[in-house]
Amino acid sequence: MKQIIRRLATSLILIAVVAFGVRLAFAWNQTDKIPRQFVGIVPFQTETGHIAYSLATGKGFASPFQRDSGPTAWLTPIYPLIIAGLFKIFGAYTRAAFFAAVFLNIVFSAATCVPICYAGRRVLGIGVASGAGWLWALFPNAVIIPFEWIWDTSLAALLAATLLWATLVVGESRRWQDWCRYGLLWGASLMTNPALVSVFPFLLVWLIFRSRHAGQLQFARPALAAIITLVCCIPWTARNFAVFHRFIPFRSNLSYELYIGNNENYDERRRALPTIITQDMETLRYLRMGESAFMDEEKRKAFRFIRTHPAVEMKLIGWRFVDFWIGVADPWRTFSTADSWLVRGILLGNFLSALGVLIGATALFLRRNTYAIPLATFPAIFPILYYLTHTSLRYRHPIDCVVMLLTAIAAVELWRIVRPGGRSRNQRESQNVVGAGERVPS
């Protein structure tokens, strides 16, 4: 009986099925609460939906705010192209297109269990692997986001988990094909969510040291992966240069994001602002000025505010740090006043997982684990962009897979402290099995 329970608990197939079922049940429950006439329209009222509509109607990669405003580089192309394909098949702004997009997000999210488990198995064994898989399967954010956001968020989480797993594996490979595939994976990831580029150079440097042979650093294979990644990004960058006559490697909207998080609304000395700065107002300015002129103006205003309000800026960075990891800038007040146990569960889950990142990463470094650096790189480097601009619950989600893995490691370490005389199951595990009948690739 113990063996049966253990095989079920460590079965990758079961973990993925449960993850899929929980997400599908949440989506089904939430759909019943939304008026039928809104289901096919409101979820697509985002930059992704509008660009996808422009693509589906033959107007090209353009118009992120519904009105015809011309070509855009507001987003990278992969996910809007996916939604445009769904619009072509199921109709633009329809219930069928919404259900197809949600189903696809659920598949992406449930599939993320696979690279998480394989990465965990490589780091500390099957106990950590299955623990990370179950945490991801039941993590509130991972259950909610596939339904709440028709965005690249769920796909980006799958790609981030796959990048982590691929990084752990390719560092031990001397096959050129593996490094080529690694570069292609990075190229596809950056064309989906360019924020992942922040961890790319750090992982590449780690791989250079990891792939050393006979005391010599090996640059050729990591350099090949970097070149292939660059080549994957060239067509999109060339398109942007041809359209906007400026170098835009990924997205054009960084200046906008910077100003939304750093503007006069946050200056407490100005008690009576003549005009409150809102995203809607900035959108109207975008439509009036055009993308290039608008971004230039946003950058100028954002840098002026940062330069003239250093004390306010430091406070904002602190707020955004808390917001990124917990979900709100004032977690205790929100938790104590919330009338929803779902909201409290999300806040508590975010707090515990953030604590798990700290404990798990520390444990890996103290034990001099080979994979400590790549695992710690994601939570240490990826959020910096959002500390400087602005953040949201979904912005953390691409690295939540790594957060769950570090949290599982933290749980194992705490279990060792509670039972100092016992040996961890994952340390005793000698099988090459993640789930029933599934073998970990070498």
The tens-digit pLDDT sequence of the chain (442 residues) is 777 777 888 889 999 999 999 999 999 999 888 887 788 788 899 999 999 999 999 999 999 998 888 999 999 999 999 999 999 999 999 999 999 999 999 999 999 999 999 999 999 889 899 999 999 999 999 999 999 999 999 999 999 999 999 999 998 888 899 999 999 999 999 999 999 999 999 999 999 988 775 466 778 899 999 999 999 999 999 999 999 999 999 999 999 999 999 988 887 776 556 667 777 888 889 999 999 999 999 999 999 999 999 999 999 999 999 999 998 888 888 888 888 888 888 999 999 999 999 999 999 999 999 999 999 999 999 999 999 999 988 999 999 999 999 999 999 988 888 876 554 444 444 333 333 334 333 3
User: CA of 312: how far to CAs of 309, 354, 381, in Å?
Assistant: 5, 25, 23
**Amino acid sitting at position 419:** R
For residue 346 the two structure tokens come to 């999300």
Buried b (16+ CB within 10 A) or exposed e, 360-387: bbbbbeeeeeebbbbbbbbbebbbebbb
Phi-psi region of 290 (alpha: psi -120 to 50; beta: other; left: phi over 0): left
- The residue written with tokens 């598949």 in the block is 107
Chain centroid to Cα 125, Å, comes to 25
Distance in angstroms (rounded) separating the CA atoms of residues 143 and 105:
10
User: Is residue 227 a contact partner of residue 269, using CB atoms and an 8 Å limit?
Assistant: no
Q: Residue 159: which residues within 8 A CB-CB, separation 6 or more? A: 185, 188, 189, 192, 193, 196, 398
Please name which of 57, 65, 47 lies closest in space to residue 84, comparing C-alpha atoms: 57
Q: Residue 51: which residues within 8 A CB-CB, separation 6 or more? A: 61, 62, 63, 64, 72, 74, 75, 80, 84
User: CA of 50: how far to CAs of 35, 104, 155, 180, 202, in Å?
Assistant: 21, 18, 19, 34, 35
User: Is residue 290 a contact partner of residue 63, using CB atoms and an 8 Å limit?
Assistant: no
Q: Is 196 exposed, middle or buried (0-12, 13-18, 19+ CB in 10 A)?
A: buried
| 302: DSSP letter | H
Sign of CA dihedral 302, 247, 232, 149: positive
Question: What residue spans of 70-175 are helical by DSSP H?
Answer: 78-90, 95-111, 113-124, 126-138, 140-148, 153-170
